[in-house]
Structure 1
Amino acid sequence: MIGLVLFAFAASAQNGLILEGRFKVDGGSNNGAKIVVEKNGQRLQTKEGTSRFEIELDFQAVYLVSFEKDGFVSKKLRFDTHVPTDRIEYGFEIFEFKVEIFEQYDDVNMVIFNQPVGKISFSDLIDEFDYDTDYTKSIQAQIDDTMDEIEDKKEEIADQVAAEEKAQADVAKQTQNLTTAAQKLEDQGKLEEAIQKLKEANDIKENPQTEKKIQELEKKQEQQAKQQEKQDEFNKVLADAEAAMAQGDLEGAKKLFEQANGVIGGDSKVQAGLAKIEKGIAQAAKEKEAAAAAAAAAEEAAANAAAKTETEEAVIPETGTVILGDVRVGEEASLTARLSEDEKFDGMMRRAEIQQEEFYEEEEQKQLRDDYPRRKTVETEEAGNSVITWVYINYGEFVKTYKRVKHNWGGEYFFIDGQATNRRYWEHETQ
């Protein structure tokens, strides 16, 4: 606690006793620490924030030197500088010592330190200043007991600090494991599970960064939910569009594809579907134009035929009726004569339509026979969220067309030459 080192020289003609030493604050710095010197009960000087000191005390007085710092136990030394007058001229050794103060504990009795821990005065025995050994012996036992309590308290506090540090380390490890797991789950797209892990970590120890991350993931989750809702709507409209196109409803399919494009723009399946529909509509318009031309030609041919009075003569054996163009003569001539002009015209138009249908059917069959000369040809194409399978079977004189439309959402439809049918019959026909 207090050490004394005497120098081997004496200062002559001294004005007072010189003190030198070191001041240490256990477990802290000397910032805020101070040395207070009182003379005969009156404060004389104060030294602050120093670890080494030198103090000169006038002779023939009593001094109290205190070593203090807030939160620490103060220690005091009493110096009685009264000496024989004739001894002063020979000088005295510098009185050197060190003082260490320690932290104050509320539950440790520190009353012993209310009195000086040492008394120094002139000793006739050694003719120098020295500690009062009788006084030191009288308080040393109490000081030792107090210091033992202090050491026990230090160990107790050290154990508490170690336990707290371990608890904090355990908490840090738990939260780190949870946040690491949350990051992995986020990387896997499992936002709900990631948020749960982060909430568990924040329950263990609140952290502003963790709370901020939770808010970010919740916002991201909300955005994904909206995107998924839009995607589901898009998928449904797209499936309806593909079904309409598979059933030949090009106008309806076009509207649905455009609706899907409004939900999610720029999708390649939508663009492909619209392009195919435009192509189909253009082809249908071309066929309609050709049909109109053929109908006009047929109407003209029918009119020419009606104008003839005796062409394409034929006889019905059962009745002996003679048919000249559209007009019957002979035994049943009166029947024809009774037909109105509108009825005659309707008959001619019907024959023209039949001739036109036969013409297109023959042209289509000719093209199919050229394109699919083998007995059986199978083709597959993807249209949006559907897979379409075409089967062409060549029977020699004609080719039949079989179509199957399979949607990704599970629907499946079957057609033979454009007419809907069931799976069993379709599969039987395409063997």
Structure 2
Amino acid sequence: MRATKDSGFEWIGDIPCYWKIDKLKYHLRRNEPRNPGDAVVLSLYREFGVIPKNSRDDNHNVTSEDTSKYKYVRPGDFVINKMKAWQGSVAVSEYEGIVSPAYFVYEFTDDTIFKRYFHYLLRNCYKDEFMRLSGGIRVGQWDLPADALENTSILIPPMDEQCRIADFLDTKCAEIDALTADIQTQIDTLEQYKRSVITETVTKGLNPNAEMKDSGIQWIGMMPSHWDCIRGKYILRYMQKPVREDDGVITCFRDGEVTLRSNRREDGFTMSDKEIGYQGIDVGDLVVHGMDGFAGSIGISDSRGKASPVLNVLDTDQCKRYIMYYLRSMAYSDVFLALATGIRVRSCDLRWNKLAELSYPVPPLDEQNAIVEHIDSALSKADAVIADKKAQIATLDEYKKSLIFEYVTGKKEVPCND
């Protein structure tokens, strides 16, 4: 067992006695030359590090940005998002390009730090320290001052040990990431299965031997011959309910949940001071988001509250969950995007006047209820499997974090290869 000493940091604990501790400013120099011109725009993602921005955001139009104040990054430079360092937004770049002015860019000034070891150490072990050193500027973002970062002390093992640690973690993390990716693929397949169950059932019914007819609706095609096609204005009612004094704010989320914001999260929302046009929503109301309905923000409210007029609150004598599932099937098939007039990237205006003119396949009420029961059952079973797989991913993620911490802080030793 190696002899140890107190690191001086409660959150690190003891480290090998021969490891050094030194401040970042003695090994890094801030180097932020302005945009040299025609350069790739880079972004820093917590899970991917520094990579070209377009590789993760297919709808991002780099040419529309004013990049004149962007900072130049070379391969091997250390990049940190000063507002999200506490979330792990720090990385050593493998790419040349430019980054937002919100980032600090540093070059290494000596050879005492192995960059891949440094990468593991900073992004995995210093989140809480960066939070402590940062000052809040708005909800969810904290500003890490350059001098606080530069005066942060780091662990510096001997170079050969840094290399062994980095090589070992590269191998182990790749194995964990492969397992995680495989499980995520299974989750994605199950999510797609859920969508296919909804779309197939609300347009074709439960009887595979039913006589079919042309619905006259392009995105439905053939449907059971005893079903009707009815425009929304004849089966839906647009509701505008008064707001009560004690109403909390309700949001319709893209996963289809319609609930009080306080039941999910408050971070990232902009609160309106005047709440002009806000409306009441009751438990059981059918809600379609006028801006995000295209992405699945369609559901039945589980709460009483108030909401922005951007939410369409609907009632019907049909089965509300059947109508909800039908509208979601349109969202999943990108029908809303194809039909609606776009007003921003990956969005569309889906207000009552458009919902009212849509044609809806309408089975007999008892059949609607049977369809909903079938969908609910299938989705419940799939969700149970998905929850288990997400728990597996969470376990792998925690194992990966603990593995990195144990080796970059010297709690465990990578053996030498003699």
Q: Judge same fold: TM > 0.5, yes or no.
A: no
TM-score (structure 2 length as normaliser)? 0.22
Higher RCO, Cα 8 Å, sep 6+: 2
Name which one, 1 or 2, has greater alpha-carbon Rg. Answer: 1
> Greater helix share, 1 or 2?
1
